Amino acid sequence: MLTTLDDTIKDNIQHALEEAKKSHQSVIVSRIKEVDAIDPLHFFSSGEESWLGERFFWSTPTDDYTMVGLGNELVLENHLDNSERFREIEKEWKRLNKRVVSDHHKIIGTGPLLFGGFSFDPLKEKSSIWDAFSEAKFVLPTIMLTATNNKSYITINKLITPYDKLETCIQHFEQFVGENQNYHLDCEKGNEFASIELKTTEWVEAVQKATADIHKNEMDKVVLAREVHLEFTEKIDPYQLVGRLQKEQPTSFIFGFENGMQYFIGATPERLVKKKENQVLSTCLAGSIKRGTTTYEDNVLGQQLLQDDKNLNEHNIVVKMIKEVFKDCCYDVEVPNDPALLKIKNIQHLYTPVKGFAKEDQTLLSLVEKLHPTPALGGFPQVKAIEKIRELEPMHRGWYAAPIGWLDYEDNGEFVVAIRSGLIEGNKAALFAGCGIVAESDPKSEYFETRIKLKPMLSALGGVENE
Ligand SMILES: C=C(O[C@@H]1C=C(C(=O)O)C=C[C@H]1O)C(=O)O
Ligand SMILES: [Mg+2]
Q: What single string gives the DSSP state of each residue in 77-135?
A: EE---HHHHHHHHHHHHHHSEEEEEESSS--TT-SSEEEEEE-S-TTSPP-GGGTT--S
Question: What pLDDT, on a 0 to 100 scale, did the predictor assign at position 185?
Answer: 43
Q: Consecutive 10-residue runs of the chain (467 residues): their mean pLDDT?
A: 65 90 92 91 90 96 90 96 93 89 84 97 86 96 95 94 91 71 47 78 95 97 96 90 93 97 98 98 98 98 98 98 98 98 97 98 97 98 97 95 97 97 96 97 96 95 63
Helix (H) or strand (E) holding 353: strand 347-358
**Residue 295, pLDDT score:** 98
Q: Quick check: is 22 catalytic?
A: no
What CA–CA distance (Å, rounded) separates 129 from 99?
38
What's the rounded Cα separation, in Å, for the pair 454 and 223? 16
Beta bridge partners of 329: none
pLDDT at 102: 81
Residue 173 has a pLDDT of 85
Amino acid 434 reads G
Which residues on adjacent β-strands are paired with residue 222? Answer: 379, 437
pTM: 0.95
282, 78 in Cβ contact below 8 A? no
270 lines ligand 1 (CB under 6 A): yes
Q: Which is the closest atom of ligand 1 to the Cα of 223?
A: 1
Q: Relative to the alpha carbon of 352, which ligand is closest? A: 1
| pLDDT given for residue 4 in this prediction | 55
C-alpha–C-alpha distance, residues 420 and 361, integer Å: 33
| Contact 55 CB / ligand 1 (< 6 Å) | no
Q: Is the CB of 377 under 6 A from ligand 1?
A: yes
Distance, CA of 33 to chain centre: 26
312: CA distance to ligand 1 center in Å?
A: 13
Closest CA to 374 of 248, 222, 165, 217: 222
The answer to whether 449 is annotated as binding is: yes
Does 48 count as an annotated binding residue?
Answer: no
The pLDDT, as a whole number, for residue 88 is 97
The whole-angstrom separation of Cα 265 and Cα 246 is: 12
Out of 322, 419, 431, give the residue to mutate to test ligand 1, the one with the largest number of ligand atoms within 8 Å of its CB: 419
Cβ of 436 less than 6 Å from ligand 1: yes
Q: Is the CB of 419 under 6 A from ligand 1?
A: yes
What residue ranges do the domains of the chain occupy? 7-174, 193-460
Q: Is the CB of 450 under 6 A from ligand 1?
A: no
Instruction: Using the CB atoms, write b or e for 409-445: b if 16+ within 10 Å.
Output: bebbbbbbbbbbbbbbbeebbbbbbbbbbbeebebee
Assess: ipTM above 0.95: yes
Determine the 3-state secondary structure of 358 from DSSP.
strand
Ligand 1 atom closest to Cα of residue 315: 9
Catalytic status, residue 151: no
- Residue pair 405/413 in contact (Cβ under 8 Å)? The answer is yes
pLDDT at 313 (0 to 100): 97
Write down the catalytic residue from 221, 274, 388, 455: 221
pLDDT at 3: 46
CATH 3.40.50.1820 applies to domain 193-460:
no
Residue closest by Cα to atom 1 of ligand 1 = 434
Q: Which of 54, 88, 135, 270 is catalytic?
A: 270
